Chain A
Amino acid sequence: MFRKVLIANRGEIALRINRACQELGVSTVAIYSEADRNSLHVRQANEAFCVGPGSAAHSYLNIPNIVSTALITGADAVHPGYGFLAENARFAEICGDHGLVFIGPRPEVIALMGDKANAKRVMSQAGVPTTPGTEVLESSADAARAAEKIGYPVLLKATAGGGGKGMREVTSADQIDRAFATAQAEAEANFNDGRLYLEKLIKRPRHIEVQVLGDNFGSIVHLGERDCSIQKPSHQKLIEETPAANLPDRVRKMLHDTALRAAKTVSYTNAGTLEFLVSEKQAYFMEMNTRIQVEHPVTEMVYGIDLVKEQIRIAAGEALGYTQKDLRPGGHAIECRLNAEDTERNFAPAVGTLADVVFPGGPGIRVDTHAYSGLEIPPFYDSMLAKIVAFADTREAAIARMERALRETVIEGVATTITQCLTVLGSRAFRSGNYGIDFLPSLMHESPAA
């Protein structure tokens, strides 16, 4: 096992990783920006080093300072969390060059899966179903020809994309030139890479993903699926649950088997997630996230496995020590993300100081958060304040528990997504388990004040 791990992240995930390390008896080094001086992760880690000013580009993405911190503190491994450098193959490689273990998959696998168009081709060749689409497009004329062949509606996407940026829906041929130009400009601005590809738009699909874990000795298991269909118009997830409701066992098994086949195709190691778009009849591979996910706690509750500890154990060279049939999921878990966002103003991020903060508790409730009364929310980073997770024997009981927990929650000082989450939980469509990724956008459309 490692002696000391550097946590290359901030916020709740930095606390989450620190907790796993402390329980494993591993010492921790936190990094922080000047804007995060008063953050909990700085206080809870064994050591803490400032690596740059507030802007992420100069602090949490500052590879030289982060690696230098790891070296001067004598850390043996680096956990990247999610976001920031988590899926940066170059960072993983540089860690390796300096004798630091990167807690994640091999750099070449990160690079392969990070290029979305490339990832689809590899999966398609391995017999994993993918949405009909193209490789990198040369021009908008190229896009128009491909769209004609596949059939409208289509989705233009950035190969380096994520978080809904550089993505445009095109319903007819006359829109494609403009959509191509805006998507390209957005991709250029956000990822410094304007390459686009195109795929068939699946109408009202569900977004269902499968968690996998692989060790360095060729063992790979899945830990079931998560339904993440409750998404904002920007495709950022708001509510996730496991197991997925109203999913025929045949489809569920097919998703699990496909995920395992996909992970084995690239000899995947450490924790990863395969995202699928699921329609009435088909499941299509969308992309693979080569890191821990924000919504990992729902899986942990249902499987009784600490995924972050497993990541660290695997990276330290330990074998999984169990096989698929040893894994026995039970119960139902739901996660709600509480973001500092104004739901009435299209989820615009809110900044400010948290005046009063009370989190829920009691049976079956887990809260992963870095928020506390008096915390100033810097304008530089993600707006997520807390993840509330409810666990119960049945889906119905988990929903009731979550509603109870959200009503206990107080966050004053900034607008949050609490009310929005309660509206979703109370809706007939959510309760029936009959919802797709269009659910939240259409709900917002119907009742903007909700």
Chain B
Amino acid sequence: MTVAAIGIGSNQGDAVANVNAAIGALRRLGALTSVSRLYRTQPWGVEGQPDFINAAVLLETQLAPRKLLEALQSLEAELGRRQTYRWGPRVIDLDILYYGEERIEEPGLIVPHPLMLERQFVLAPLADIDSRYRDFDRSGYDPQVGECTPLMPEESDDITQRVRRFVDAFEQTDLIGLRISDTNGDTIELRRARRVAPQGGQGDANGIVSDGAREDVPVDVIKANLVGIAHLVKPVPAPGVQLDEGRELAYVEALGIRNPVLSRRAGRLVAVLIEDGASVEYGQPLFEIARP
């Protein structure tokens, strides 16, 4: 699984609807872990050209970079046809901004996107979903591109707006997790970094292990990469404790073999999400560690 950032843009037809349709369709290629606000950019110096609407998403995907590119191209074609019923200009543009940490330079596929940092309409939505780009120096922008402003909530409908509103509402509560499904079958699920350990997979409130602090820092979730019985390594570190890189936190016993679960880098333990002796499945979250 790799996290890729995808840039989305449209200036044909109902551009807001096009971008929202693209966000919906991207869910077929993996899990959307973050969605930016929609941004409107007025083209500079050109008369009569419609505004651009841009957004960006983080996609947790299993597709290799080349496959992802092909999938994006077929989505572009599909959404284009659906909107216009004719062969016209592409109504939607989908670009791979980055693909994990990978650097690729092949014909037709350059990752990270070479112009990513030069275009405000790419960088502004990206900053919404990836804090590393929040304080990026914006002085070097292409002057051909006009000012880029986020849309008001009433302008951006559908998924983006719903997610934003839902996040705001969630922030006001003391809930630790919330899931909403609508009639379209779209499901939005939010959880705080401070979290309840699921027991027997049923979300039982027993076994809450957390340092109790609201987390504003990025958190790494260590997941099980195989199926087995998880055993916590004694003494079990208490949440809040500073961990070294490579510390053995637990082992998953599978087919008689102990497979160690290590902290991948140094950081503060935020939560222990499993009970000692629990059965765990592939991909199950085990620990949360705050990055320093």
Contact = CB atoms under 8 A, between A and B. Distances in A.
Interface of A: 34-35, 49-55, 59, 64-69, 71-73, 98, 351-353, 374, 376, 379
Contacts of B228: 68, 72
A59 B62 CA distance: 13
Contacts of A68: 226-228, 254-255
Given A53-B62, A64-B254, A67-B255, A72 B282 contact: no
B185 interface: yes
A281 B232 CA distance: 69
A59 B226 CA distance: 10
Contacts of A352: 28
A50 B281 contact: yes
Nearest to A351: B28
Contacts of B227: 49-51, 65-66, 68-69, 72
A376 B186 CA distance: 12
Nearest to B279: A72
Given A53-B1, A64-B254, 8 more contacts: A49-B281, A50-B282, A55-B62, A64-B226, A65-B282, A72-B228, A351-B28, A376-B28
A71 B1 CA distance: 27
Nearest to B229: A72
Contacts of B283: 34, 50, 53
Contacts of A376: 27-28
A35 B279 CA distance: 21
Contacts of A65: 226-227, 254, 282
A367 to B, nearest CB: 22
22 contacts: A34-B1, A34-B62, A34-B283, A35-B62, A49-B279, A50-B282, A50-B283, A51-B282, A53-B283, A59-B282, A64-B226, A64-B254, A65-B282, A66-B227, A68-B227, A68-B228, A68-B254, A72-B227, A72-B228, A73-B279, A98-B255, A379-B71
A374 B281 CA distance: 26
Contacts of A55: 62
A353 B228 CA distance: 33
Contacts of A54: 62
B42 interface: no
Interface string B138-165: 0000000000000000000000000000
A67 B255 CA distance: 8
A63 to B, nearest CB: 10
A174 to B, nearest CB: 37
B34 interface: no
Q: What 7 A-B pairs are tightest by C-beta distance, nearest first?
A: A68-B254, A50-B281, A374-B185, A49-B281, A65-B227, A68-B227, A50-B282
B199 interface: no
A125 B52 CA distance: 74
B255 A71 contact: yes
B242 interface: no
Contacts of A49: 227, 279, 281-282
A353 B254 CA distance: 36
Interface string B251-284: 0001100000000000000000000000101111
Contacts of A34: 1, 62, 282-283
Nearest to B186: A374
Contacts of A66: 227
Of A35, A66, A379, most buried by chain B (CB within 10 Å of CB) is A379
Nearest to B278: A72
A64 B255 contact: yes
Contacts of A71: 255
B74 to A, nearest CB: 9
Contacts of A51: 227, 281-282
A49 B252 CA distance: 15
B101 to A, nearest CB: 19
A385 B284 CA distance: 29
Contacts of A351: 28
Contacts of A72: 227-229, 279
Contacts of B281: 49-51, 69
B18 to A, nearest CB: 18
Contacts of B279: 49, 72-73
Interface in B73-94: none
B222 to A, nearest CB: 16
Contacts of B255: 64, 67-68, 71, 98
Nearest to B284: A50
Contacts of A52: 282
Contacts of B71: 379
Of A53, A72, A374, most buried by chain B (CB within 10 Å of CB) is A72
A71 B257 CA distance: 13
Contacts of B254: 64-65, 68
A49 B228 CA distance: 10
A49 B229 CA distance: 13
A310 to B, nearest CB: 30
Of B229, B282, B284, most buried by chain A (CB within 10 Å of CB) is B282
Contacts of B28: 351-353, 376
Nearest to A72: B279
Nearest to A378: B28
Contacts of A67: 255
A34 B30 CA distance: 9
B239 to A, nearest CB: 26
Interface string B199-239: 00000000000000000000000000011110000000000
A55 B279 CA distance: 23
Contacts of A69: 227, 281
B160 to A, nearest CB: 19
Contacts of B1: 34, 53
Contacts of B27: 376
Nearest to A66: B227
Contacts of B229: 72
Interface in B102-136: none
Nearest to B185: A374
A67 B226 CA distance: 11
Of A53, A54, A68, most buried by chain B (CB within 10 Å of CB) is A68
B29 to A, nearest CB: 9
Contacts of A50: 227, 281-284
Contacts of B226: 64-65, 68
A53 B279 CA distance: 18
A430 B228 CA distance: 52
A67 B27 CA distance: 31
A351 B25 CA distance: 12
